[in-house]
Amino acid sequence: MNRNTSKILFEKAQNIIPGGVNSPVRAFRAVGGNPIFMKSAKGAFLKDVDGNSYIDLIGSWGPMILGHAHTEIEEAILKAVIDSTSFGTPSAREVEMAELIVSMVPCVEKVRMVNSGTEACMAAIRAARGFTGRNKIIKFEGCYHGHGDSFLIAAGSGMATFGEPDSMGVTQGVANDTLTVSYNNITELKNIINLNKNQVACIIIEPVVGNMGCVLPQKGFLNELRLICDKENIVLIFDEVMTGFRLSKGGAQELFGVTPDMCTMGKIIGGGLPVGAYGGKAEIMNCVSPLGKVYQAGTLSGNPVAMAAGLAMLNHLNTHPEIYVNLENITNKIATQIKLGGQKAGLDVQINQIGSMYSVFFTDKPVYDFNSAKTSNLTYFSQYFNTMLDLGVYLAPSQFESLFISNCVNEEIANEIIEKSSLAMQSIK
């Protein structure tokens, strides 16, 4: 494939944008080579600046569940934009969006719109701290909740020790209030809560993880979390930025039947435009300014054009629940056949899949937390990624990301993904 224009653009970009990208994972550092600059997309396909076409298995990291350039979303945006792009005042669409979220998402009694998943997660833990009067938060190793300081924390060296900053610029002071435990490990969680009795404001978790690659909660794990939070008066926050409106119209909390006290949302909620949201029990959300004393604000929060796109997206999903059944079936077929292709190639392959999310791990061990995810052979993953790219299938350029199937992936496209995956597996050495 000729990718010269991408190469030229990347060389220019690196002189004026850190790493040449506006978000690190796009830089292809985990898989080698130069990132590909996209020019357009339609349905299940991306087209790069050199005219090459790719089946898209990222969907803009989650938002494009209906595929690219969906007519209803595009028409909603075009209609909204002629009435100006922003007012900085309340607007009717914000009320409509809040009503729709409250009707779709089990835990949400009140909701506040923001502009990204990061903002939503930062605000949610601040509200939990304000509501409980406690300082510490608990997160799980390998889960990602955006680039807020409190989340860029590695697990402390010992169970009782504080977290350690996982990024330059994050202070030990911030790290001292973030405790990190292993995903799917209730014992570790109970121990760290007992060592920090009555100090933990909230537990924040990806109810299905996308940021270790796709990792599922083990049977009963989320239910245990709920019971522990009830007993300890800890706010349970589901970070559904990725799983919200993805795994069902009510997200993971609806699919698993476990209702958190709060949840954060993003990606799909904006129909591809920059939107995040956080919401939950009214008694917690009533702490948020201007009603309460937890301050949070945003110039473009509830932006009318973004709300129009998000409303078109959510209304379509809300009125077409069959989409989730179709996505589960076709993604399960893809995942099952990809695993078979790996086995035929003589490789140890684990596939984690739920709904339209899945990940391929090159390991003989089941992947149920970050340590087991890290047993995947990253050299094999990189070879797999680059061969698939050359075959015209665009995967997330990192082992520790989930892939997403859109509603535009039909049987023919699914078979093409399976066939090309088998070829890519055969080429691994």
Binding site residues, ligand KE4, CB under 6 A: 23, 25, 61, 116-118, 121, 144-146, 206, 210-211, 239, 241-242, 266, 276, 401
Q: Which long-range contacts (CB under 8 A, 24 or more apart) does 94-102 make?
A: 94/302, 94/307, 96/307, 96/311, 97/302, 97/307, 97/310, 97/311, 97/314, 100/311, 100/314, 100/315, 100/318, 101/265, 101/269, 101/277, 101/279, 101/314, 102/279
Q: Which is nearer to ligand KE4, 121 or 189 (CB)?
A: 121
Whole-number minimum distance, CB 397 to ligand KE4, in Å? 10
Report how far residue 126's alpha carbon sits from residue 130's, in angstroms, rounded to the nearest whole number: 6
Whole-number minimum distance, CB 293 to ligand KE4, in Å? 25
Q: Which of 267, 339, 384, 420 is catalytic?
A: 267
Q: Which is nearer to ligand KE4, 148 or 341 (CB)?
A: 148
Q: Which is nearer to ligand KE4, 188 or 239 (CB)?
A: 239
Amino acid at residue number 248: S
Cα 379 to Cα 49, 363, 382, 384: the distances in Å are 28, 12, 5, 9
Q: Which of 239, 261, 368, 384 is catalytic?
A: 239
Q: Is 267 a catalytic residue?
A: yes
**Those residues with Cβ within 8 angstroms of residue 336's Cβ, 6 or more apart along the chain or in another chain:** 351
Whole-number minimum distance, CB 119 to ligand KE4, in Å? 7
Report how far residue 109's alpha carbon sits from residue 114's, in angstroms, rounded to the nearest whole number: 17
Report how far residue 41's alpha carbon sits from residue 64's, in angstroms, rounded to the nearest whole number: 11
Q: Which of 144, 183, 368, 394 is catalytic?
A: 144
Of residues 78, 124, 117, the one with CA closest to residue 274? 117
Q: Which is nearer to ligand KE4, 117 or 280 (CB)?
A: 117
Half-sphere exposure of 417 (CA within 13 A, CB side): 28
Q: Which is nearer to ligand KE4, 163 or 272 (CB)?
A: 272
Give DSSP secondary structure letters for 324-345. Answer: HHHHHHHHHHHHHHHHHHHHHT
For residue 424, the surrounding DSSP H or E stretch is helix 411-427
Q: Which is nearer to ligand KE4, 45 or 140 (CB)?
A: 140
Q: Which is nearer to ligand KE4, 182 or 211 (CB)?
A: 211
Whole-number minimum distance, CB 185 to ligand KE4, in Å? 19
Report how far residue 38's alpha carbon sits from residue 52's, in angstroms, rounded to the nearest whole number: 9
Q: Is 144 a catalytic residue?
A: yes
Is-contact 239 264, C-beta < 8 A? yes
Q: Nearest-5° angle of CA 422, CA 427, CA 428? A: 100
In eight-state DSSP terms, residue 91 is -
Q: Is 166 a catalytic residue?
A: no
Whole-number minimum distance, CB 364 to ligand KE4, in Å? 25
Q: Nearest-5° angle of CA 254, CA 257, CA 258? A: 100
Whole-number minimum distance, CB 146 to ligand KE4, in Å? 3
Whole-number minimum distance, CB 266 to ligand KE4, in Å? 5
Which residue is nearest to ligand KE4, using beta carbons? 117
Catalytic residue set: 144, 239, 267
